[in-house]
């Protein structure tokens, strides 16, 4: 697989990374430890070098899984994890106090079975702690060799600039896909101006862009999509127009909807590295196949014209979750 550089800090990773969250958290009951390890190692064997996790995924179990799976290959991969929630619980408020950042760092190092965190993200901006203090604390951890690169997640442009002035930000991780294009307005220009990479999560619209979800799909009781307005039955039916448009383009090229969605992201900027996640090997191989798919200017124009006539319905998060974003 080709590689890409995230920003100007020298962090080089595979063009497509692997989001590990869904193995332990968010969508369904966690898969077995053995199956989780097998999936992560399969991604590595397919030349993925960027693996994304966080203390809240589980909580804590996902980091343990990633640490065990990647321990034999530690020097060949980039591990990204996150701090920023009270007690590592995403249902609680943000907590990015300097002492808490240090606690998370030490605990994550143990769970990940490593002596350094390659990319340490603030998971959500904490309105109670200045971003300068957050960036300054990570800067100290970098000086100590415990962290190599600093990242932010779902931060607004002003916050990104302020953090970057204290400690260069290697990457921003935020949602970006064919059905969530808000980052194009202000975030992408800011990242380009500052030399910061972009790691889109949910590049397949939390599964919707694959075409496997429609208004009749029933989500399990632990699936967070049950609380997402965009995934209400009515909104899924309305948003099917987008999936159908992508499907027509995919069929014409002999590829899948997922591959079109990921390839479209890769075409937006050379410093964008999406991190689709899956617990199934065929889906992993399908997603990674997008790295070899070239979209022509005509393809991109066709996609742009199709999207221009489609209105996406429904908010991407509940009001409570949305309040934590883009501060």
* DSSP codes joined into one string, 34-94: HHHHHHHHHHHHTT--EEE--TTTTTTHHHHHHHHHHGGGGGG-EEEEEE-BGGG-TTS-B
pLDDT score of 327: 55
DSSP, collapsed to helix, strand or coil, labels residue 130 as coil
Question: Does 277 fall in a domain?
Answer: yes
* Spans of the chain, pLDDT less than 70: 320, 324-327
Per the CB < 8 A criterion, the answer to whether 46 and 91 are in contact is: no
Question: Does 303 fall in a domain?
Answer: no
79: Cα separation from own chain's centroid: 13
Question: Does 216 fall in a domain?
Answer: no
Question: Does 196 fall in a domain?
Answer: yes
Instruction: Report pLDDT digits (tens) over 190-210.
Output: 999 999 999 999 999 999 999
Question: Does 37 fall in a domain?
Answer: yes
pLDDT score of 321: 72
Question: Does 105 fall in a domain?
Answer: yes
pLDDT score of 324: 65
- Active-site annotation holds for 57: yes
Q: Look at the chain and report how many structural domains it folds into.
A: 1
pLDDT score of 7: 87
pTM: 0.96
Question: Does 288 fall in a domain?
Answer: yes
pLDDT score of 253: 95
* CATH number of residue 198's parent domain: 3.20.20.100
b (16+ CB within 10 A) / e for 53-63? bbbbbbbbbbb
Instruction: Indicate which residue of 57, 73, 121, 317 is catalytic.
Output: 57
pLDDT score of 195: 98
Tokens of 116: 């350094």
Q: Compute the radius of gyration of the chain from its Cα atoms.
A: 19
Question: Does 156 fall in a domain?
Answer: yes
Range of the domain at 178: 3-211+265-293
What is residue 32's DSSP assignment?
P
């Amino acid at each position: 697989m080709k590689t890409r550089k995230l920003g100007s800090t020298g962090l080089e990773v595979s063009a497509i990374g692997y989001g590990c969250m869904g193995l332990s958290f968010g969508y369904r009951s966690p898969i077995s430890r053995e199956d989780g390890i097998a999936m992560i190692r399969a991604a590595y064997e397919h030349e993925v070098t960027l693996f994304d996790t966080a203390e809240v995924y589980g909580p804590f179990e996902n980091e343990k899984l990633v640490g065990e799976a990647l321990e034999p290959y530690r020097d060949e991969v980039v591990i990204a994890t996150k701090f920023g929630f009270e007690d590592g619980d995403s249902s609680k408020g943000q907590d990015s106090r300097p002492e808490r950042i240090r606690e998370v760092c030490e605990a994550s190092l143990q769970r990940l079975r490593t002596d350094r965190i390659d990319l340490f993200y603030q998971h959500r901006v904490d309105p109670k702690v200045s971003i300068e203090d957050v960036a300054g604390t990570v800067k100290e951890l970098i000086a100590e060799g415990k962290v190599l690169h600093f990242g932010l997640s779902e931060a607004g442009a002003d916050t990104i600039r302020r953090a970057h002035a204290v400690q260069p930000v290697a990457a921003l991780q935020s949602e970006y896909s064919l059905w969530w294009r808000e980052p194009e307005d202000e975030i992408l220009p800011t990242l380009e101006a500052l030399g910061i990479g972009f790691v889109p999560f949910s590049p397949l619209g939390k599964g919707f862009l694959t075409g496997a979800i429609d208004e009749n799909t029933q989500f399990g009781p632990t699936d967070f999509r049950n609380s997402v307005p965009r995934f209400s039955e009515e909104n899924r039916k309305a948003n099917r127009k987008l999936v159908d448009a992508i499907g027509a383009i995919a069929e014409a090229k002999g590829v899948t909807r997922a591959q079109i969605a990921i390839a479209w992201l890769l075409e937006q900027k050379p410093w964008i590295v999406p991190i689709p996640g899956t617990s199934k090997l065929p889906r992993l191989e399908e997603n990674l196949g997008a790295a070899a798919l070239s979209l022509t200017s005509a393809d991109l124009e066709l996609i742009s014209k199709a999207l221009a006539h489609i209105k996406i319905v429904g908010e991407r998060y509940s009001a409570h979750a949305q309040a934590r974003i883009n501060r």
